[in-house]
Amino acid sequence: MSGAKTRRQTAMAAAAEKQEAAGTQKVVVENGNGSAHLKSNDVDDYPRENIYLFWPNIIGYCRIVLAVASLYYMPLHPRTCSLLYSVSCLLDALDGYAARYFEQSTRFGAVLDMVTDRCTTACLLVFLSSAFPRWAIIFQGLIALDMASHYMHMYATLAMGGSSESHKNVDKSRSWILNLYYTNRTVLFMLCLFNETFFIALYLLAFSSPFLSPGLLQQVPDVAAQEIHKGAQASSSVVGQIFTNPYSAGALELARANKMDSTIPWIVAGVSLPGMLIKQIINVVQMVKASRWLADGDLKARRAQGLPRKSKAA
């Protein structure tokens, strides 16, 4: 009897040792397709995360909603549009702070942030092109520069620096101005702020400055134009008499003439102009440096392939 008890105790002790060893060793798990991979039990110590619901990305979604709402009000409601657009831009700084505070910096969030910035600015510049037709080529050029510069910089970073490299990691040896722009948060924030503020000021001037839009009051009768110019709101009957379609180009001009004072937009535009110009210079530098980086990589790749082939002597 005692011998049987000893054997039972020995078996129980061996089973306990196996369970303990299984808790510390990696086990082989077979997939449904027959392949196998190693899985460590300590993976279970990490909670499941949903990248799409990280706080910085939620802020990014709010930015998109505000930007779309500002675009909806853009043609006829400058005050509402400017408020929504400005809040969307200011949240750009908050999502970066949230990413650092909650330790939730992700590549998805970085791309979401960049795409939102590029699209919102491009949409505003498209409106400015229609508001100031004589300067349309300048706004179209700014859109092309912004898109090309950031795309080439991002592509060069991924192609030459690797998939784990951030586009904000720019060494001073490549460009001191890009290094300062991307590593100094104050410089980055202020230049982006001045850039967007300048375009918002131009947008408000499209509704308030006949100097920039000489045809602002052309389609409005003289008496009504004088009253509107003084600040009186245009009644719906006037709109109905002059423009049968509230979404026509003429209605847009009347909305511009639905008077705003241009003093503050002029001041804001003047103050933010230098920052906007510096931002465009950085875009040019960024595009040039990315082009050179890609070209250098192409040269190294061709030399590794033995290209160009040496011509055989006759």
Catalytic positions, written as ranges: 117
H helical segments located in 184-262: 185-205, 222-230, 236-242, 249-257
Write down how long the chain is: 314
Tell me the CA distances in angstroms from 176 to 95, 172, 288, one per residue in order. Answer: 26, 5, 14
Q: How many CB atoms sit inside 10 A of residue 283's CB? A: 19
Separation CA 261–CA 252 (nearest Å): 17
What whole-number distance in Å separates Cα of residue 27 and Cα of residue 40? 7
CB-CB contact of 272 with 194 (8 Å): yes
Q: Which of 21, 31, 27, 57 is nearest to 44 (CA)?
A: 27
DSSP category for residue 310:
P
The answer to whether 120 and 82 have CB atoms below 8 angstroms apart is: no
Q: SS in 3 state form for 123-191?
A: HHHHHHHHHCHHHHHHHHHHHHHHHHHHHHHHHHHHHHHCCCCCCCCCCCCCCHHHHHHHHCHHHHHHH
Neighbouring CB atoms inside 10 A of 99's CB total: 21
For residue 42, the Cα-to-chain-centroid distance in whole angstroms is: 37
